[in-house]
Amino acid sequence: MSAALRYEVTVEVEPALAESFVRYMSGKHIPEILATGCFRCIRLDRAGPTTFRTVYEAAAPDDLDRYLRNHTAGFRADFTSHFPAGVTPTRAIWTQVALWE
């Protein structure tokens, strides 16, 4: 099995926006991204009241490349239209080096 390839977006959210952020991510953003077929699973994590991380797991590098090339602009624009201020996202691509189970 190939090593996991993950695209992660961490977002700091102003406290007043936290619950609407969770609703938007759970009810719209994540389901629409999963529907692109670019990821085999997506996970939304919460580290505290205002810190969130979305982990998108791609089956292959080509799937992640396809998402970044064909879909990110539209999804980022939609996200910004819902949250024009009060959120600070950071993005990273992670390749699994090792796994212990």
Q: Domains in the chain and their CATH numbers? A: 5-95 (3.30.70.100)
Q: What is the pTM of this model?
A: 0.90
* Mean pLDDT (the chain, rounded): 95
For residue 1, the model assigns a pLDDT of: 46
Q: What is the mean pLDDT of residues 33-49?
A: 97
Neighbours of 99 (CB within 10 A): 8
Q: What is the mean pLDDT of residues 28-35?
A: 98
The DSSP symbol for 16 reads G
Q: Which residues contact 26 (CB under 8 A, 6 or more apart)?
A: 44
Q: What percent of the chain has pLDDT above 70?
A: 97
The DSSP symbol for 42 reads E
CA–CA dist 35, 9 (Å, integer): 18
